[in-house]
Amino acid sequence: MTYYELIVTARLTQDMPYFTSQSIIANNINRTMLLNPKLKELHGRQGYKNYVFCNFYPMEKEKVYRKDHVYLFNLRSPNRNFLLQMKSLLPKASRDFHVLATELRTYSNLFISEISNITPAICTIDDRYWVKEDGIDLLMERIHTNVVKKTKDYNPSFEEPKENFIQYIEQINRKPIQVKYKSTTLIGNRFKIGVKTDEVSQYLANMILATGLLEKNTIGSGYCFFHK
């Protein structure tokens, strides 16, 4: 599988607390999508958008990103045309930061032994958030089902495997992590996930890198890195 990553270098126009910066990036991405008819259609559609982004980096010790300082964030997708459009339009639409540079990278068929999410991953169960007491087995099933649905949305010919792609999973955080978005607070967690070595499991792990782990990826939730 091939996916793409747009690396954005930006200078902030205001101070941004860490707990709101992710939402601000999401708002600027949404605003950018309204400038193009196809992106506007994608923005308004129900279902999976198949992109994810991380928060600004490097992180400030005080957990406040500073006005006039320069940071980076990454936007990923399996859709190259989507990122090419974002590369062109984001500098025109962003209000909370000035885009100084962009770079598009390509990744193909990465071998992945383990993935970990940097931004909190959000899993909802019957209109509430997953908690440790719900059990790891349920979480593994939700992760597997979620990425299979995303993959089928992007590649309708994909055949669902009989077994879960996850070899093992470990919760990293001790307490649930709050994510501020608009007027609500979402609850997420960080996980370390071992990936099976077969071709289909590797494909699904690459899809998670491209689109994010679990839900709410369009607000930056579930952005992952990997180990070979």
pTM, two decimals, is 0.94
Do 68 and 90 lie in one domain? The reply is yes
CATH of the domain at 214: 3.30.70.1900
Do 46 and 125 lie in one domain? The reply is no
Give me the chain's average pLDDT, please.
Answer: 95
Residue 115, pLDDT score: 98
Q: Point out the least confidently predicted range of 91-95, 97-101, 113-117.
A: 91-95
CATH of the domain at 50: 3.30.70.1890
Residue 94, pLDDT score: 86
Do 96 and 127 lie in one domain? The reply is no
Percentage of residues in the chain having pLDDT higher than 90:
84
Domain count along the chain: 2
Q: Among candidates 71, 72, 52, 57, which has minimal Cα distance to 4?
A: 52
Question: In which band, very low, low, confident or very high, does the pLDDT at 106 lie, cut at 50, 70 and 90?
Answer: very high
Do 195 and 132 lie in one domain? The reply is yes
**pLDDT tens-digit profile of 153-199?**
999 999 999 999 999 999 999 898 988 777 788 999 999 999 999 99
Q: Considering 108, 142, 172, which residue would you say is the last residue of a domain?
A: 108
Q: Considering 108, 126, 153, which residue would you say is the last residue of a domain?
A: 108
Q: String of b and e for 59-94 (b: at least 16 CB within 10 Å)?
A: ebeeeebeeeeebebbbbbbbeebbebbbebbbebb
Q: Considering 73, 108, 143, which residue would you say is the last residue of a domain?
A: 108
Do 94 and 124 lie in one domain? The reply is no
Do 143 and 79 lie in one domain? The reply is no
**pLDDT tens-digit profile of 28-82?**
999 999 999 999 999 998 889 999 999 999 999 999 999 999 999 999 999 999 9
Q: Is the pLDDT of residue 4 over 80?
A: yes
Average pLDDT over residues 124-142: 92
Helices (H), the chain: 18-33, 37-44, 80-93, 136-154, 199-211
Do 70 and 18 lie in one domain? The reply is yes
Domain with 32 in it: 2-108
